[in-house]
Amino acid sequence: MILVFGKTGQVATELQSHKDVIAIARDQADLSIPSTCTDAIRRHKPSAVINAAAYTAVDKAESEEDLANKINCEAPGAMASACADLDIPFVHISTDYVFDGTDTTPWSVTDTSNPQNAYGRSKLKGEQAIQASGCTFAILRTSWVVSAHGNNFVKTMRRLSETRDRITIIDDQIGGPTCARDIAQTCISIAEQLMHDTRKSGIYHYSGQPNVSWCQFANAIFEKMDCKTIASPIPTTEYPKPALRPLNSRLDCEATQDTFGIARPFWRDGLAEILRDLEGEHDKA
């Protein structure tokens, strides 16, 4: 049995479609109280743990960095320590925001991290806590997560297309959109492989291909929807937010392919599935 922290988030929702997964919500383990995470792991005695829960309010984290650190650093550190005690693997989802977003080449797992906002700092501290725990782990950095669940870019563009023919979208942030369903399957596969080979423990990258800008991604969504809405490009400077975003979110995923045999997914395939799911929900309403 694999224990999953998180129940309503994008990846956590997808993980629950897999057999032998038990997902626990906040009322069973509150990440702002890290000891409850440790207690949950010891109570369930799983064969592996996946942490799909996090503080993800990027802009709000600028004024709530202590809470972000509690949830994104202290809680994963407590989970990892419990996994070390039970000698079971721990898979943790991290982010491209641990990098500063400079240059234009894909970030390697060995590149120096330099987060530019509170959210990124909290996630990096979480990575460091996991590495210090002594457990068998896989830290999976990903980017631009989308699905038919929760709040995300695809659902926002779909909603805007209902009332607007033209919108402006940032065009100088480049990355790989990644479907939550693909991330969930990858987490399961990595956890299973770590159970049999602890030498695979380490930090890995996983994102969809090809890399695009937010504006390009928006227009791909509209094209797939066969709607008339068009996204026009603007620079990040014209859409300021409290937290700085990296301009370069490209991730080098070769280590994940080489170690686990998991290739970068094509986000257009995942996007088609997401839109079909959303259309199905609309038909049921």
| Site of tokens 């563009």 | 157
Q: Is the peptide bond before 210 cis (omega within 30 degrees of 0)?
A: yes
Q: Do residues 68 and 27 touch, judged by C-beta distance below 8 A?
A: no
Q: How many residues does the chain have?
A: 285
Q: Which amino acid is at 148?
A: A
Query: Residue 110: what are its φ and ψ, rounded to 5°?
Result: -95, -5
**pTM to 2 decimal places:** 0.96
The model's pLDDT over 52-110, given as tens digits with 9 standing for 90+, comes to: 999 999 999 999 999 999 999 999 999 999 999 999 999 999 999 999 999 899 999 99
Largest CA distance in the chain: 56
Q: Do residues 281 and 190 touch, judged by C-beta distance below 8 A?
A: no
* Residue boundaries of the structural domains of the chain: 2-284
- Tell me the three state secondary structure of residue 10: helix
195, two tokens: 């159970």
State the catalytic residues: 119
Residue by residue, pLDDT tens for the chain (285 residues) are 999 999 999 999 999 999 899 999 999 999 999 999 999 999 999 999 999 999 999 999 999 999 999 999 999 999 999 999 999 999 999 999 999 999 899 999 999 999 999 999 999 999 999 999 999 999 999 999 999 999 999 999 999 999 999 999 999 999 999 999 999 999 999 999 999 999 999 999 999 999 999 999 999 999 999 999 999 999 999 999 999 999 999 999 999 999 999 999 999 999 999 999 998 865 554
**What residues contact 284, with CB distance under 8 A and at least 6 apart?**
none
CATH of domain 2-284: 3.40.50.720
- The helix or strand, by DSSP H or E, that contains position 174, with its residue range, turns out to be strand 174-175
What is the DSSP secondary structure assignment for residue 192, as one 8-state letter? Answer: H
Nearest to 225 by CA among 275, 259, 156, 174: 275
Nearest to 61 by CA among 36, 11, 12, 97: 97
Query: Residue 121: what are its φ and ψ, rounded to 5°?
Result: -65, -40
What is the DSSP secondary structure assignment for residue 266, as one 8-state letter? Answer: B
